[in-house]
Amino acid sequence: MNVTHRHHSSSHRSPRRRGLYTLSLVTAVSLSAAACQGSGSSSSDDKPSSSPSPSSASTAASSPAASPSTGEKDQVKQKILKAYEGYWTEQVKAYSEGTTKGTKLEGYASGAALVQAQEGVAQVTKDGYRYRGKPRHDASVTEVTPARNGRLAMATIRDCLDISRWHSVNRKTGKVSPLPKGQPEQFIVTVTVEDWGEKGEAGWVVLKDEPSAREC
């Protein structure tokens, strides 16, 4: 999720900010870290690749299904949040290891969300940083759109992302990079997910992960 901010030019952004907002949550969401020099292209080990969506290949029943009960709705929301949790588990692993290889990120994300995560990890690694710790979440499903007319079911998640315990660390010095001045530690992230069924690692797959400047 690309979030536009005032501040320095991209060539002087801190790894923490670049990671965070390059993730378009960048998913990672405002994860930048200390001021590091120069931005660059992603490393060859983590070239971004977007997975094709199964939307075009799937078909939905032409007649509307009966409205789900409250219990069924709650079960769907729990499944969505479980998939979102898995998405973050794999992303944290990638930022810690400095590569998306060996993770299941492609089973939890696709499209813009996947590319942003891959680019964010590659850039932070190139700049000489790793992430330690993990973020905290206060996520809820705000909307679910059932499958219809050949389109897959989709949902929106609102997350209050707390990165105060997710630190960017210089690999050479071991020093933690502070957040840029004015960068909130807790902010709102809006996430779009789609139900891929058995094609997804947990059914639902993250397509967009968009951080905002709104604190929470």
The answer to whether 17 touches 117, Cβ cutoff 8 Å, is no
Question: What does the pLDDT look like over 75-130, one tens digit per residue?
Answer: 999 999 999 999 999 999 999 999 999 999 999 999 999 999 999 999 999 999 99
State phi, psi for 169 to the nearest 5 degrees. Answer: -120, 130
Residue-by-residue DSSP string for 166-199: EEEEETTT-PEEPPPTT--SEEEEEEEEEE-GGG
Tell me the pTM. 0.72
- Please give the DSSP secondary-structure letter assigned to residue 34: S
Q: Which residue has the higher pLDDT, 104 or 202?
A: 104
Q: Which two tokens stand for residue 121?
A: 């990890």
Q: What is the CA radius of gyration of the chain?
A: 18
At 200, list the tokens.
């997804």
Each residue's pLDDT tens digit, 47-69: 444 455 554 444 444 445 556 67
CA distance 49 to 138: 29
9 secondary structure, DSSP code: -
- Helices 111-126, 15-22: axis angle to 10 degrees equals 170
